[in-house]
Amino acid sequence: MPPCWSTDGRAHPDLPARHYLALERRLGVRLPGTAPFAPTLTARSSDLVEQLRTAGWFSGLTIAAITATSWPERKDYTVQRFIEVAQRIAHARGVPTQLLLIGGQSGGVHAAAESPSRNIQVLRLDGMSAIHLADLFPRCDLVVGNDTGLTHLAALTRRPDGAGPPVLGLYARHSHSKWRTGQSHHHAVATDLSDRMHQGDLCPVRDAISADTDIHMEAITPASLAQLCAGLLDGSRRWPDERT
């Protein structure tokens, strides 16, 4: 992973900037040193989104929770915790709330509705392609997810008018700044270890760092996460012409 280089008197710790500046140094050519360094993807109308909307989804407060992860024992916030977060948000705001659980399981596309859990509706979506998810994420009011590529994708995808939901990534072991897109709407909740990795520009795997405490996702409680999500939702915008 490229180090946290600086240019024009500014440090650029996020992932797209690191690769961009690494390319600059490899080519020996000065490239524009201003953000954003990552492209923005524009959501389109898609069969998946239309099927969900016809079935009544996106009619209330809609939250997408990304459960997919390459390292479940260390980087998975778990379905149960995401559901509790949604329950707390629904209770605090007093509005119908819908939770889309985005999994990364292989073996084809699979959708399954959970039994209504208190004051929320829950739908699991597993095996969806990144193309479909890029069209889905901007339709939501909030995206929260494990430290994984789909969370990064959500932050890079916006609506045709340039708006979109806040995206909140959860970081237990790795630097919360290194594994973000640098977009202003891409936020992070991090454990103490993740913040130490950020401060020192370190990686627990690459630098063989043995962690002691606060290395797992349970250090981020559903109560505290729900409070942060509620604050982000207060400033979000809705998809035009498709909400009442």
User: What domains does the chain contain, in order, with CATH numbers?
Assistant: 56-233 (3.40.50.2000)
User: What is the spatial distance between Cα 64 and Cα 85, in angstroms, rounded to a whole number?
Assistant: 12
Extract the tokens encoding 1: 């992973």
pLDDT of res. 193: 85
95 by DSSP, 3-state: which? coil
The strand pairing partners of 126, in sequence order, are: 103, 110
pLDDT in the model for residue 175? 85
Query: What one-character DSSP code corresponds to residue 147?
Result: S
- CA–CA gap between residue 77 and residue 216 (Å, rounded): 9
Q: Give the per-residue pLDDT at 108.
A: 59
Residue 203 tokens, joined: 């990686």
Q: What's the pLDDT tens digit per position in 201-232? A: 878 878 787 765 556 788 899 999 999 999 99
23 pLDDT exceeds 50? yes
Q: Which residues, listed in sequence order, are joined to residue 157 by a DSSP beta bridge? A: 41
Q: Residue 207: phi, psi to the nearest 5?
A: -95, 10
pTM recorded for the entire structure: 0.85
Q: In terms of residues, how long is the chain?
A: 244
Rounded Cα distance between 19 and 195, Å, is: 21
Q: Which pLDDT band, with edges at 50, 70 and 90, does 234 fall under? A: confident
pLDDT averaged over the chain?
84
The residues pairing with 10 across neighbouring beta strands, listed in sequence order, are 7
Distance between CA atoms of residues 161 and 239, nearest Å: 9
What pLDDT, on the 0 to 100 scale, is given for residue 29?
A: 80
Nearest to 103, CA basis, from 151, 45, 139: 151
Give the lowest-confidence range in 25-34, 65-74, 163-172: 25-34
Tens-place pLDDT, residues 58-81: 998 999 999 998 777 778 999 999
